[in-house]
Structure 1
Amino acid sequence: MSLSRGAFIVFEGLDRTGKTSQTRRLYNRLTEKGIKAKLIHFPERSSAIGQVINAYLTNAQDLPDEVIHLMFSANRWEHINGIRQEMLAGTTFICDRYAYSGAAYSVAKGLHFDWCCSPDRGLIKPDAVIYLKASSDEAIASRGNYGGERYEKLEFQRKVGVVFDQFCEKESSYWHQFDACQSEENLHAEIAAIVDEVLKETPSQSLAKLT
């Protein structure tokens, strides 16, 4: 087992702000440098819970807002022990969406902020959150096939963005905001510079929990 742990890098932001492209670029960069890394995405749709979430997101099933919020949280909890074990063995995880998305999307639907955060307390706290910031209008203009899933509605995305901004201000010690509308190459370079610094600092640090 490695004497130093891996890092936990989370990407957050509105739908269609380039999270999938940038997580893949970062994963490729780390593995090319010989760093053991894994790329994960929440919701993780292959489990039984994940399949219910997928049916909800694709408008095949309706559930009360409170129920689907708790299912999103349960989806994170069912995978967190495996993530923790691999991190302690030296694997760096690059995570596309995490607890902050869970809270932001539910708060945007009108649920209370503290209630939305409560089910995720105790999960692994990220070493860094890469926040890809773009207005919802810009995100829509730059992406095709928008509107296919439940949450891809312009006014709703604006509300989600307000909550992400609140997280970024509140958790500024480990949230890093980037302009998602710049070129993919420039954005990747800026993200890589931050992640390189995080990877230098995390091996000797204990895992923290969301509180």
Structure 2
Amino acid sequence: MTGTSQQTRTQRGALIVVEGLDRAGKSSQCEMLQTYLKEQGHSVKYIRFPDRTTPIGKLIDSYLRGSANQEDHAIHLLFSANRWEIAKSIEEDINSGITVIVDRYSYSGAVYSAAKANPTLSLEWAWQPELGLPRPDICLFLSISAEEAAKRGGYGAERYENETMQTRVRELFRTLFERQKDVYVVDAGKTLTEVSKDIQNAVLNCLACLDTIGSLRKLGPLAK
């Protein structure tokens, strides 16, 4: 089947989100997935959050590198605003037939803020600014133990990369995914190639269901 006929069959592009703990291999897998889908004839775009090139993104970058401090609620809203900055272009790309791969999204945003254990910043509070953003057709969660992540190069370079924080993040991801659909858990402790194959299979199944899903949906409230 040619790439053109594939694109005609699926009509719109898909919104694919890749989430996971730090050093789970998200960026490498996003790049491999982008290459694979292009080889299959799909138009693909790959973006990462936070987008550190925007004015808001530069504030976030300073915070993550530890060179600036922000109040917990304020930095959370900056992360969310960073996603809203790009939301319209994501929708436009998908409606024009481009599949968009996103490295980190609203799920990370809510979970990492709630993991700070601020009594006035719950998971429910953190999720509120995400309501109405484009909803992924599939969210791939790369699951890896904190011990394995700590063995990987570069671990600990940024603010959230410590065992205590990562343990809380893992627990909150589990809670969030019990209350949201379209999540596919991938064992990121496997080899790079094995993980890539698992992701490819899940994404191909998602692309085959786009006609059933219909138009791009919006993120809604957390299920009770």
TM-score range, shorter chain: over 0.9
TM-score by length of 2: 0.90
The yes-or-no answer on 1:82 pairing with 2:89 is yes
1:164-203 C-alpha deviation (Å, 9 max, x unpaired): 11122222x4100011100111111111011001111114
Please, which runs of 5 or more residues in structure 1 have no aligned partner? none
Q: CA RMSD in A?
A: 1.5
Per the alignment, in what secondary structure is the counterpart of residue 47 of structure 2? strand
Contact 2:149 2:155 in 1 (8 A): no
2:133 paired residue number: 123
Per the alignment, in what secondary structure is the counterpart of residue 50 of structure 2? coil
1:111-137 C-alpha deviation (Å, 9 max, x unpaired): 211110000100001000000011111
2:216 paired residue number: 207
Q: State the shift of 1:138 in Å.
A: 1.4
The yes-or-no answer on 1:192 pairing with 2:204 is no
Identity %: 41
2:67 paired residue number: 60
The yes-or-no answer on 1:48 pairing with 2:55 is yes
Per the alignment, in what secondary structure is the counterpart of residue 209 of structure 2? helix
Residue correspondences, number? 209
Q: After superposition, where does 1:153-168 map in structure 2 within 5 Å?
A: 153-168=162-177
TM-score by length of 1: 0.95
Match of 2:153 among 131, 144, 147: 144
2:5 paired residue number: none
Per the alignment, in what secondary structure is the counterpart of residue 92 of structure 1? strand
Please, which runs of 5 or more residues in structure 2 have no aligned partner? 1-7
- Which segments of structure 1 move beyond 3 Å, counting only runs of 4 or more? none
Contact 1:27 1:37 in 2 (8 A): yes
Contact 2:10 2:210 in 1 (8 A): no
Q: Structure 1 residues 200, 144: CA separation in 2 closer, same or farther (over 3 Å shift)?
A: same
Contact 2:20 2:141 in 1 (8 A): yes
**Greater mean deviation of Cα atoms: 194-203 or 65-74:** 194-203
Q: State the shift of 1:210 in Å.
A: 0.6
CA distance in 2, matches of 1:71, 1:191: 30
